[in-house]
Chain A
Amino acid sequence: MSAVRCVDLCKTYRQGDQDIKALDHVNLEITSGDFVCLSAPSGGGKTTLLNAIGGLDTPDSGEVYVAGQRIDNLSKSDLADLRLRKIGFVFQAYNLIPVLTARENIEFVMQVQGVPASERREKSLAILHEVGLETLEDRRPAKMSGGQQQRVAVARAIVSRPELVLADEPTANLDSKTAGELMELFTALNERHNSTFIIATHDQHIMTYAKRLIRMLDGRIVEDIDQRAA
């Protein structure tokens, strides 16, 4: 089964009197449980593609399917529901709500979903353990390191077992050691929970963690490598 399918996606931005093709006829299929790195130089279209897949933005033309459901024509409110229930997000920075503690941040999505308190608590404690932050349960983001913050964000993204986890340059603000540790965590979670991961990056080192590497340039997919074979 495919977790994500994109058919002929196009998105054009106007900058001044120039048309920028952020997505230029992108066709893509990602199987469930895969671990994909999306790599492109800055401005290559990674964020635009992830936003289209994650229902944060709609393409100009083409179709997007997530877990078999077509999403590019959904209403804003249905898109919000899709993001809430089917997709976990990790962003580059400012992933956490500053006034909530680590555990509250992790529980936030479940709380909006309407998961009962006892179940939330159980799950959030388990995932804190899994990402190795059990001691930071009651800490607010301002008192955590960048790596710790990203781990909490990963925990939040995975805690309600979404179909799909989208991470847009999650390691960009981390030093290479911490970045490597975060990628190890992604890999471990991918294997344990079988969620599909798509991680955008332009860091060569990060790409080595991927099972499948998709390279983009100027809104086109220019290379698609299965790294398991290698």
Chain B
Amino acid sequence: MLSIKNLTASINGTPVLKGIDLEIKAGEIHAIMGPNGSGKSTLGKVLAGHPAYEVTGGEVLFEGQNLFEMDADARARAGLFMGFQHPIEVPGVSNASFLRLAYNKKAEAEGRDELDPLEFDDFIREKIKLVSMREEFLDRSLNEGFSGGEKKRNEILQMAVLEPKLAILDELDSGLDIDALRVLGDAVNKLQRADRALLIITHFPRILETIQPQFVHVLSGGRILKSSGKELAVELEERGYDWVLEEAAAGGAR
């Protein structure tokens, strides 16, 4: 589904990603962990097509297509979704009409029927149940004045509406209370299927108990230093990152 080869990227001339290799196949769940500032969000935003980041080398194929030949919106319509660490507030645009617009743009691209406001109303009512969101949040402006946790809930609602092939969820768990973490974790699991894939960016193994990855990667200094099974998350929690860095340094010196 996603194939990243030796990806390098910089922001404002500063290299942040320094050679990333990662293969994600349909049906798989991957997790990326790593110290603050190591480039996790950058990787997500580069994949999603944020214009501020410059891709300086390497290649990324998404479903066989060169990702960098597509604008951010084309990537989204092709089935890539990024759940942001810090979702943006958009005053004046109601959550419901934004969700309907996004849904219809994707439907249009896929040659499916668009939904009129009434049809969408029925559709979204089902979706908000999945994330246990109260209806009043549909009438509010997109993310405006939402708490940190409410914004994350809204990200997963968007994911549920768009049903992406690949969802990159950047720190979904930060700012969530215990119940919300369980609800949204379950929602993400329900959305996961054999023809879809997930990339979970997190600092904590807790969310990985609900959304169980087959692969855990450690990203540090713009490189993936270690990849292993889900037991790595627990080991990282117990031991921190230093040993991974040391191991990698030793490996590099060899």
To the question of whether A and B form a pair in one complex, the answer is no
Binding site for B on A (CB under 8 A): none
